[in-house]
Amino acid sequence: MNKIEHIGIAVHDLKSAGITYEKLLNMPVYKTEEVASEGVKTAFLQAGPNKIELLEALSDDSPVAKFLAKKGEGIHHIAFEVTDIKAEMQRLKNEGFILLNDEPKLGADNKLVCFVHPKSANGVLVELCQSIS
Ligand code: ZN
């Protein structure tokens, strides 16, 4: 894996969380985007080379809504950039990791994504993402 691409933070209210993080980082939200496949609305901020993705649930049955109900607001996932997501998924499968999807999905920010179950990564939801050129 190449680097941490972003850190995902689950929030109740994207708008107010966006304002808080704009103040915190002293940087504007540069993009908001709905990701239907994940049932979320996202907002992105950048601090130097590092990105923060704020996530608000679009419906009560979205995975982020379930996360918020169970754990409250906070760090939701860590995303790693990969060059070849299919190869990386196969490698992780061979290593015994549980993947949450069999095929890469279209994620936010023009990325192909796949999630690794927190059970197989010491309680952390891990996202793999590959930029679509
Ligand atoms: Zn993410």
Q: For the residues of the chain, what is the DSSP string, one character each?
A: --EEEEEEEE-S-HHHHHHHHHHHHT----EEEEEGGGTEEEEEEEETTEEEEEEEESSTTSHHHHHHHHH-SEEEEEEEE-S-HHHHHHHHHHTTPPBS-SS-EEETTTEEEEEE-GGGGTT--EEEEEE--
Alpha carbon distance 100, 121 (integer Å): 12
pLDDT at 38: 85
74-123 residue pLDDT tens: 999 999 999 999 999 999 999 999 999 999 999 888 899 999 999 999 99
The model's pTM: 0.94
Q: Which two tokens stand for residue 81?
A: 């950039």
- Measured in angstroms, how far is the CA atom of residue 67 from the centroid of ligand 1? 14
- Measured in angstroms, how far is the CA atom of residue 42 from the centroid of ligand 1? 9
Question: For residue 59, how far is the Cα from the chain centroid?
Answer: 17
- Measured in angstroms, how far is the CA atom of residue 76 from the centroid of ligand 1? 9
- Measured in angstroms, how far is the CA atom of residue 96 from the centroid of ligand 1? 22
31-59 residue pLDDT tens: 999 998 889 999 999 999 999 999 999 99
